[in-house]
Chains A and B, each alone.
Chain A
Amino acid sequence: MVRLPLLRRWLLVGLAMSCVCGILACSGAGVSSSDQEVAIELTTGGMAELQQIVDDSQGKVVLVDFWATWCSPCRKQFPHTVELHEQYADDGLVVVSVSMDDSEDPEIREQVLGFLTKMGAGFSNLISRHGDSQQAFEEFDISALPHYVLFDRDGKRHDLTSPDPAKPVTTEILDQRVAEYLDR
Chain B
Amino acid sequence: MATKSNLLVRVLPAVMLVLSVCCVAAEYNTTLDVGDAAPDWGALVGTDEETYRLSDFGDKELIVVVFTCNTCPVAVDYEGRMIALQKDYNAKGVQVVAINVNTNDGNDYEAMKVRAAEKQFNFPYLYDETQQSARDFGATVTPHVFVLDKDRKVAYMGAFDDHRDESKVENHHVRTAIDQLLDGKTPQVTETRQFGCGIKYHD
Instruction: Tell me if B110 counts as interface (CB < 8 A to partner A).
Output: no
Chain B minimum-CB-distance residue to A136: B195
Tell me, in angstroms, the Cα distance from A144 to B171 when the chains sit together: 20
Is the Cβ of B198 less than 8 Å from the Cβ of A70? no
Tell me, in angstroms, the Cα distance from A131 to B159 when the chains sit together: 16
A35 CB to closest chain B CB, in angstroms?
A: 34
Could you count the A-B residue pairs with CB atoms below 8 Å apart for me: how many are there?
A: 64
Tell me, in angstroms, the Cα distance from A132 to B104 when the chains sit together: 24
Known: A70-B74, A144-B196, A166-B140. A133 touches B201 (CB 8 A): no
Instruction: Tell me if B163 counts as interface (CB < 8 A to partner A).
Output: yes
Measured as residues with beta carbon below 8 angstroms from the partner, the interface class of chain B is 20 to 34
Mostly, the B contact residues are loop
Which residue of B163, B168, B198 is within 8 Å of A146 (Cβ)? B198
Instruction: Tell me if B182 counts as interface (CB < 8 A to partner A).
Output: no
B107 CB to closest chain A CB, in angstroms?
A: 12
Residues of A within 8 A of B161 (CB): 134
Is the Cβ of A143 less than 8 Å from the Cβ of B200? no
Task: Report how many residues on chain A are interfacial, defined by Cβ distance under 8 Å.
Answer: 23
Contact with B along A58-79 (1 / 0, CB 8 A): 0000000000001111000000
Instruction: Tell me if B150 counts as interface (CB < 8 A to partner A).
Output: no
Residues of B within 8 A of A73 (CB): 197-198
Chain A minimum-CB-distance residue to B163: A133
A55 CB to closest chain B CB, in angstroms?
A: 25
Tell me, in angstroms, the Cα distance from A70 to B73 when the chains sit together: 6
Q: Interface residues, chain B, CB within 8 Å of chain A? A: 28, 30, 71, 73-74, 135, 140-141, 159, 161-165, 168, 171, 192-201, 203
Q: Identify 16 new A-B residue pairs, CB closer than 8 A, beyond the known A102-B165, A134-B163.
A: A71-B73, A71-B197, A73-B197, A131-B164, A132-B164, A134-B162, A134-B171, A134-B192, A142-B195, A143-B28, A143-B194, A143-B196, A144-B195, A145-B198, A147-B198, A168-B198
Q: List 14 A-B contacts (CB under 8 A).
A: A71-B197, A73-B198, A132-B165, A134-B161, A134-B171, A134-B192, A138-B193, A143-B140, A143-B193, A143-B195, A144-B141, A165-B30, A166-B199, A168-B200
